[in-house]
Chain A
């Protein structure tokens, strides 16, 4: 009883720190979680991510704007940095993901959240960053023996880049069979993913992790 109350308090504090974009508090409570021996994955998902979800809701309601979201994301990143080394891995990485925001696009807050969640879920994530030249996705996937390519675009002008990556991938049949492609980002949709030949579309970070897990299960059947 005592310990679960203890845990709840840490999660709540962590969540509030992120909602308020307070780096100092976020790091403090992440360290507190480690000190109290709280499961780090749980602290990330129930503290950090819950906080970021509230931030997302506030943004959708136009109560928050990007400046507030950026501060929250920074606070979350700092807290996750503290927690990540303590996430218990049961076995090796569950899969390799190459992630990035396509060429021409410099918006990457969403992509970073997906990356954090994938890592927390045990994936090895190779982050190509933002404004990524299209061929880099395919080349990196090849070199690193990746299972999944995850791309995001936040502008309608950069969206077509994702379709091109799929095409490049298709040039190598073996590679295409091995590598699944998932996409996301505000202007994209399930239908758009289908049209460009991607394997799936993720609505948000949680959906992206579910998709990645599903891909890996299918692969091992």
Chain B
């Protein structure tokens, strides 16, 4: 079975039709050690299709993860919408310096947005990966979810205050427009050869929003994306998303990637066969600060709890040692269903 077929089966809730769980990481895979080995460091790797593809490929070539994911940062959409970006450093991810819009009424998606900012870089890197690796390994194109983009282009606090002060219809309208942007970029990436779309919406965390707000503002936005994309969709939300679990089947996603605070066994119980659950080897306590032995133990625990894909609980911290990260594909490949 090819890693691509295995990943697609595990993402769509057909784990038992695969030979084992997948170790295809649809979250950020780049670490400083990989950057040094393949000579594709941050921040340059954010801005060149060639370097981006090279660093994404290191996930497979060096760590052994069963596929690729691009881009590495969360600012592509906000940048194309006009926010000011700081590109960070070797071990610091890019971030938004200055929002793009002051008021909700100022919001406008520019025409031909996919030609702006770093969209061409990302799509270019997908093309390179597809050409080089053929159909053997899956490629994940990350789209930053509507709520996180809104936080970037208006300011998180401002947008949060609007949830209490403005007409929800107006906010939903903006979030749906951002969802449409996600659809547009996802389709472009799929044409270039991507297989899977991962919606990364860290700001939609349940540490920030109530389950009620999630249901009213975000479920419709994710529905918009999943109904139009035409490829498997993974959703990643940071923090303890346990209170969101009952609403996830309504979003139409294929798989949910959960952070370390979520109990996979519980998530599996709530979601049953409706949504696959991927996760959640703790990034900081285990992958960054632990030993390979600790990682192995955490991996086995995730598998015992029924995870459908063995991946870190969140984007990998850039200083994570390769020997720790490597344990994920190693443990996954040792584990064969009996």
Contacts and interface: CB of A to CB of B under 8 A. Distances in A.
A binds B: yes
Interface of A: 21, 62, 65-68, 70-71, 74, 103-107, 109, 131, 133, 156-158, 160-161, 187
Contact of B163 (A67, A74, A104, A161): A67
Contacts of A70: 157, 160-161, 164
B156 A103 contact: no
B93 A65 contact: no
Contacts of B317: 156-157, 160
B86 A65 contact: no
A55 B8 CA distance: 44
B176 to A, nearest CB: 19
A106 B88 CA distance: 14
Given A67-B161, A70-B161, 6 more contacts: A66-B160, A71-B164, A103-B88, A156-B283, A157-B317, A160-B91
Contacts of B210: 62, 65, 67
B92 A158 contact: yes
A184 B210 CA distance: 25
B95 interface: yes
Nearest to A73: B157
A32 to B, nearest CB: 25
A156 B163 contact: no
A7 B96 CA distance: 44
A157 B209 contact: no
Given A62-B243, A106-B156, A131-B86, A67 B164 contact: yes
A25 B283 CA distance: 44
6 contacts: A66-B207, A67-B209, A103-B92, A104-B95, A131-B97, A187-B284
Given A65-B208, A66-B208, A70-B160, A104 B88 contact: yes
Q: Which of B97, B160, B209 has the most CB of A within 10 A?
A: B160
Contacts, number: 67
Interface string B300-338: 000000000000001101110000000000000000000
A68 B156 contact: no
B227 interface: no
A138 to B, nearest CB: 16
B95 A71 contact: no
A65 B95 contact: no
Given A104-B93, A106-B156, A156-B283, A71 B88 contact: no
Contacts of B165: 71
Interface secondary structure of A, over-half rule: loop
Nearest to A69: B160
Nearest to B156: A106
B213 interface: yes
Contacts of B96: 106, 131
Category for how many chain B residues contact A: 20 to 34
A103 B89 CA distance: 10
A138 B150 CA distance: 32
Nearest to A156: B284
B284 A71 contact: no
Contacts of A161: 92
Contacts of B284: 156, 187
Contacts of A68: 164
Contacts of A105: 95
Contacts of B155: 106
Contacts of B157: 66, 70, 109
A117 to B, nearest CB: 19
Nearest to B92: A104
A67 B156 contact: no
Nearest to B163: A67
A103 B243 CA distance: 30
B93 A157 contact: yes
A71 B161 contact: yes
B168 to A, nearest CB: 12
B185 to A, nearest CB: 23
Contacts of B314: 156
Contacts of A187: 284
B94 to A, nearest CB: 8
Interface string B203-247: 000011110010000000000000000000000000000010000
Contact of B209 (A21, A66, A107): A66
Contacts of A103: 86, 88, 92, 95
A157 B156 contact: no
Given A104-B93, A156-B283, A160-B319, A65 B156 contact: no
A136 to B, nearest CB: 12
A71 B159 CA distance: 11
A66 B156 CA distance: 10
Contacts of B92: 103-104, 157-158, 160-161
A106 B95 contact: yes
A160 B283 CA distance: 14
A66 B155 CA distance: 13
A107 B288 CA distance: 23
